[in-house]
Amino acid sequence: MKELITIAVDAMGGDNSPRKVIEGIELHHKKSKNVFYKLFGDKNLINPIIRNKSIDNNFIEVIHTEEKIKGEDTAFAAAKRGKKTSMWLAIESVKNKSSDIVISAGNTGALLVIAKLNLKMIENIDKPALSGLWPSKKGMSVVLDLGANIECSDKNLIDFAIMGSSLFKSLFPEEKSKVALLNIGSEELKGNEVIKETYKKLNQIVYEDFEFKGFIEGNHIMDGDVNVVVADGFTGNVALKTAEGTANFITSELKTSLKGSILGRLGSIISINSLKKFKEKLDPRLYNGAILLGLDSPVIKSHGGTDYIGFANSLTVCEKIVKNNLIDKIKNSIN
């Protein structure tokens, strides 16, 4: 048997866990036999679910702990809760090199803090960035930072550009990384001093790993002309929440309109295939899995409210990141 990718899984994080985590593993396992799942959590809750699932026992292990991080915990309280929680042990597994990557659907703040307490930063990177996948007309884009750093220097943003392009290449090896800075306008004179200085420096150097495309405005992120969008954590998080809210509003209003009258129902039947494609394009489960970049081991944050399909998709992200050597790509690109 070839060497398997080992994913450390916090089985107790997020809504409806550990059931949704195990069902996500089952779905992912049906498509991939390259992964060994190391689950951290309460075996009394986990094992009865696993027994009823079609997961080969040679591909899964449960490390028992009854302690877990709660969703309402502050980051400080989560770290203080102890080293026996499922999240801490899963991250520690990566630190000790017994796992290749760690994933949790639990408390985001806790994950960031515990990961930073356990794992070292990649040399020459000052701050980690939380990145995520974003749908566009031409496929998927990487957007970062989504909230890990409210204030950033020009060096931080340049590091984010390098890390984001490395992530994009790990997920989509056949495509060229095209980087842009999220700004209030596309002209060189627009924006604050940090982003203008970042633009100037990125424009002065030709990077082998990506093509710098200048500034991009929020309304063009989904055009797909660039596939790596860089921002400070405040701007990136506002853009993300706005996009999520807009997508939810559109799908909700469309559903209401189509069910509101006989003509609406008839129209929905006629255009069922188009509506199905539209729904799939905006389905957040398809791009579930935020990635904490900058640490010397990969850390993945699955959305706490996603279901087993979303969790399975985030496991696919984990597999691609390890298979395509994300950390080595970043280390080779950072000066």
Over the stretch 113-172, which tens digit does the pLDDT of each residue have? 999 999 999 999 999 999 999 888 888 899 999 988 999 999 999 999 999 999 999 999
Phi (first) and psi of residue 301, to 5 degrees: -110, 110
Burial 222-233 (b: 16+ CB within 10 A, else e): eebebbbbbbbb
Give the torsion sign (CA, 171, 54, 33, 30). negative
Q: Which DSSP category does 16 fall into?
A: T
Determine which of 40-44, 228-232, 243-247 has the lowest per-residue pLDDT on average: 243-247
Scanning the structure block, which residue is given the tokens 């950072």? 334
| pLDDT attached to residue 262 | 60
- pLDDT of residue 271 exceeding 60, the answer is no
Q: In the structure encoding, which two tokens stand for residue 185, read together?
A: 């306008």
From CA 78, how far away is CA 62, in angstroms rounded?
22
| Beta-bridge partners for 135 | 140
| pLDDT attached to residue 100 | 97
pTM over 0.85: yes
**SS3 call for 173:** coil
Q: Taking Cα atoms as reference points, which of 153, 185, 248 lies closest to residue 145?
A: 153
DSSP E strands in the chain: the ranges are 5-10, 35-41, 60-64, 101-104, 129-136, 139-144, 177-182, 210-216, 228-230, 290-293, 299-301
Average model confidence (pLDDT) across the chain: 88
Q: In the chain, how many H helices and how many E strands?
A: 12, 11
Average pLDDT, stretch 24-45? 95
Give the torsion sign (CA, 120, 310, 59, 50). positive
The structural domains of the chain, ordered by start, are 1-125+294-335 (3.40.718.10), 126-289 (3.40.718.10)
Phi (first) and psi of residue 143, to 5 degrees: -125, 135
Instruction: To the nearest 10°, report the CA torsion of 16, 21, 24, 26.
Output: -120
249 pLDDT tier (thresholds 50, 70, 90): confident
From CA 306, how far away is CA 48, in angstroms rounded?
22
DSSP E strands in 183-302: the ranges are 210-216, 228-230, 290-293, 299-301
| pLDDT attached to residue 72 | 81
Q: In the structure encoding, which two tokens stand for residue 86, read together?
A: 């499922």
> When comparing pLDDT for 250 and 180, which is higher?
180
> When comparing pLDDT for 237 and 270, which is higher?
237
> When comparing pLDDT for 260 and 287, which is higher?
287
